[in-house]
Amino acid sequence: MNENILDYLIKGLVLFTAVPVHECAHAWVAEKMGDDTGRQQGRITLNPFAHLTLWGSLMMILVGFGWGKPVSVDPRNFKNPKKGMVLTSLAGPVSNFIMAFLAMIVYKVLAMLSGFDDSTTLGMVAWVFLYVMLINISLGVFNFLPIPPLDGSKIFNAILPEKWYFTIMRYEQFIFIGLIILLYSGLLDEPLYFLQGKVIDLMDILTIWVDYIMGFIMAGTAV
């Protein structure tokens, strides 16, 4: 299969899994914190069509960075509005990191079973999980940027004085357009790749137990 077609297919797979989990996590945590707006709007679901947007989906397919339909949140329903907003905003990126962590475990198992040969069926499936891991990490890192309307901005704004917060929100649309321009220009590539690399290193350390277990198993089968 043409590598470009396979690349788009995997990005589509991630789009229909990572984005729904990301947005559902926002709605679920918001409800736990006291705001059921997301549930009323049918957002506590893994149905991708409840969460996807046209432009966010196209960006995901074309450049590997995308977004879903924002989950509506009413901070007035939180017992502690700032804490509620921070935890609700954290839920999305954290869900991507959890998915990346699980994908790395599966990748390591399949890669070692295949002898790191991506020409085999197991090796090809391992490669898919590696790609899923990388895109989920890129989504998590991207959404942690403190730039409106990304999740990181909501976390950052929770500690800002209200006057500054409302000033930033007034220009949110223009800031977002600037973000898209930066993405297409490639100016964000280096800092994003640096942060993604650090997260990958951390994930590798957290899953090192898989290396030991699989190494033990593979050594036993080789005897």
Q: Among 23, 162, 172, 190, which one carries the catalytic annotation?
A: 23
Q: How far is CA 78 from CA 69, 86, 110, 175, in A?
A: 21, 11, 44, 27
User: What is the C-alpha to C-alpha distance for residues 112 and 221, in angstroms, rounded to an integer?
Assistant: 12
172 in catalytic set? no
For 175, counting Cβ atoms within 10 Å of its Cβ (0-12 exposed, 13-18 middle, 19+ buried), the class is middle
- 52, β-bridge pairs: 68
The residue count for the chain: 223
Q: How far is CA 132 from CA 49, 128, 140, 152, in A?
A: 20, 6, 12, 22
Q: Which residues participate in catalysis according to the annotation?
A: 23
